[in-house]
Amino acid sequence: MSDQKTIDLIGQEVHTPNHVRKFEQEKKAKELEATAQSVRDNGLGLSKETQAKPEPTYAELKASHDNHFLDQQIEMIRKELITMINEKKQNYEV
């Protein structure tokens, strides 16, 4: 009896690492296949939301550009005002 148990235990020790290795290989193969399928479905692997996003219109681009230009102008005026205020403070302190 004990010899049979020993043989079974040895068989399990050999079987378990091989089974784990096989499972890991199958898991990796499934992940690779899922990635490949995603690339095939989505072109370059982009998400569906990214692909479906419409291009901005000319009016939207122009508004964005104008907003950016105005933001730059406001920032420049703000810096000039801060400089002028600091100069006035220095003149009064003297």
The proportion of the chain whose per-residue pLDDT surpasses 90, expressed as a percent, equals: 29
Contact 56, 47 (CB under 8 A): no
pLDDT: which is higher, 6 or 13: 6
At residue 84, does pLDDT exceed 90?
yes
Average pLDDT score, the chain:
80
**Structural contact between residues 76 and 82, judged by C-beta atoms closer than 8 angstroms:** no
pTM score, whole prediction: 0.39
* Backbone phi and psi for residue 21, each to the nearest 5 degrees, phi listed first: -60, -40
Rounded CA-CA distance 67/63 in Å is 6
Q: How confident is the model at residue 30, as a pLDDT?
A: 85
Q: What's the pLDDT at 76? A: 96
pLDDT, average across residues 30-47: 71
